[in-house]
Structure 1
């Protein structure tokens, strides 16, 4: 025998899908009416303004990154040019690699230009001394000619990692005609042209 409560429960559950469907349909209808009745101009304006601002932001960011890459390449190419102009190609690549290895080591400035123009305190000379000798000069002739084009090509190849490293992990180098104190205890990697490279 089915009691009143059971009968009500069955009727309620049996009718539930149709009532839910009606509620959803009604809600969807109300939303459509509200959408057509809305004044959409402020929302459209805000959306367009947001798209313009987003496009401007990404465009500005891309331009800044491009400019930063060009500046880094210029510093790297100048280092190759003034430190290794006239050296074999392997020697020029090695100089560029030393520069980039320092940048990524965490022990030197985190930018290419910061590495190239870094100065350290020299207690003997009692002044700050450039990490690369050519940066000590107040003025230098502008890089030109085939040597400059070659230095730029080397800089691009190393900067964008287009070539396998000539010397893995090279961090230091000096001219073969000097024997600096700092080279003691350093692990020599190779002699290329007029430079000795160390890890």
Structure 2
């Protein structure tokens, strides 16, 4: 064991170190660029996820109280961690499933079905982003016990028949 160590030490002391140092510098540069690329990609991915969550909060609950905005964001995040739904926020928000009655794909959130939506802006957009960030980063404690579904109080969807609501917040009823 000690023989190879002595040989390595002798090799190091008798060899021209210029190419080794150049290779080390280039390798460190490549590793740094890779780490930066990974950081930028993960950062842009996080921004994209937050934007999708904020858009969902804005279009689904912009007229709701802060608690209502948190609840919509929480359901969206609960779906992300559920095996029954896609694994990213944007995939959950824009998911479409086949509806046998309508004979077409239907969005999980009604606003995603419209081709043109008013651009989010103003105080309501700011509040939607704040609520989305608080839920996304875990600063807002869960309040819905894992709820995966909700609907507006003025409709009675067939899927909700026989379901026990876990909460009613503002204009929405929430279910597990």
| TM norm. shorter chain > 0.5 | yes
- Following TM superposition, where does structure 1 have runs of at least 4 consecutive aligned residues deviating by more than 3 angstroms? 26-34
- Identify the residue that residue 22 of structure 1 maps to in structure 2: none
Q: Which runs of 5+ in 1 are unaligned?
A: 1-25
- Identify the residue that residue 161 of structure 1 maps to in structure 2: 138
- Identify the residue that residue 12 of structure 1 maps to in structure 2: none
- Identify the residue that residue 70 of structure 1 maps to in structure 2: 47
Among residues 104, 117, 134, which one is paired with 2:111 in the alignment?
Answer: 134
Distance 1:76 1:28 in 2: 57
Distance 1:66 1:97 in 2: 21
Give 1:15-30 correspondences, 5 Å limit: none
Say whether the 8 Å CA contact 1:121–1:128 is kept in structure 2: yes
Distance 1:53 1:157 in 2: 36
Backbone CA RMSD of aligned residues: 1.9
Say whether the 8 Å CA contact 1:79–1:116 is kept in structure 2: yes
- Identify the residue that residue 192 of structure 1 maps to in structure 2: 169
- Identify the residue that residue 55 of structure 1 maps to in structure 2: 32
Q: 1:118 to 1:31 in 2, by over 3 A?
A: closer
Structure 1 residue 165: Cα displacement: 1.1
TM-score calculated relative to the size of structure 1: 0.83
Structure 1 residue 118: Cα displacement: 0.3
Larger of the two Rg values belongs to structure: 1
| Matched positions, count | 175
Alignment deviations for residues 95-154 of structure 1 (CA, whole Å, 9 cap, x no partner): 000000000011101000000000010011100000000001001011000000000000
Alignment deviations for residues 13-59 of structure 1 (CA, whole Å, 9 cap, x no partner): xxxxxxxxxxxxx9988765543321212211111111111111111
Distance 2:104 2:149 in 1: 21
Alignment deviations for residues 67-107 of structure 1 (CA, whole Å, 9 cap, x no partner): 00000000000000000011011111000000000000111
Distance 1:167 1:59 in 2: 38
- Identify the residue that residue 151 of structure 2 maps to in structure 1: 174
Moved more, 147-156 or 177-186: 177-186
- Structure number with higher helix proportion: 1
Distance 1:94 1:31 in 2: 63
- Identify the residue that residue 7 of structure 1 maps to in structure 2: none
